[in-house]
Amino acid sequence: MIQNKYRLNQYIAKSGITSRRKADLLIESGKIKVNGIVINELGTKVSLDDTIEYDGKKIKIEKYRYLILNKPKNYITTLKDEKNRKTVLDLINKACSERLFPVGRLDKNTTGVLLFTNDGDLSQRLIHPRNKIRKVYHVILDKKISSQHYNIIQKGFLLEDGEIKVDEVHLVKNAQNKELLVTLHSGRNRIVRRIFEFFGYKVVKLDRIEFAGISKKKVIRGTWRFLSQKEIGFLKMK
């Protein structure tokens, strides 16, 4: 029987650990063993009969899984927490036997769309700044936003770490100018909160309602669902 051969970085990516690009770094740094031998050559090919180890643990090719979580407040986006706080993995740990990882992150107090997958290549594409992945947030402020500040945010302005320009910003109707819908592609840390804090507003509630075209519609807060084949195909076109 002829065994399928995989490039080592492809095998690592298909195990759900990371993307192929980052797998190359693991190989070069001597963290990968094949049949008990450290392998540094990027072009190495392996089969399913081979034993592949990362940091002393055996890894294997997994079926790719993709799901969306409607993240609640007070959960942190991390794999482990030394302070034993609640993590988003606690909410999806019974979803499947494969190890899933969050695509990007949401702050502890930010709610809404958070994708999970073990497809390292897709995850890397979705979080890379050059791909300009669209995100939509529902923002609730502690007070009415002035028309002056609203116009400045529409046009773009300078933060301490560079210029920021949102793709779209709209006031929510009948919300006394305290609620907005903000669309942007920037992945900078806490960027939505920082936009409004810059002008003296406190973000009372921040909810990501869409990420990369995937919305939280019909996903109750704190629950998850697997993506449809149509949604998966849509993400892979990004």
Give the residue numbers annotated as catalytic, written as ranges.
107
Q: Is 228 helix (H, G, I), strand (E, B) or coil?
A: coil
CA–CA dist 221, 23 (Å, integer):
34
CA–CA dist 36, 73 (Å, integer):
44
236 is written with which tokens?
């892979």
Q: Is 194 helix (H, G, I), strand (E, B) or coil?
A: helix
CA–CA dist 108, 49 (Å, integer):
42
What separation in angstroms does the CA of 227 have from each of 66, 116, 117, 133, 209? 6, 10, 10, 18, 16
Give the 3-state secondary structure percentages of the chain, helix then strand then coil, rounded to 5: 25, 30, 45
**What burial letters (b/e) apply to 17-31, b meaning 16+ CB within 10 Å?**
bbbbebbbebbeeeb
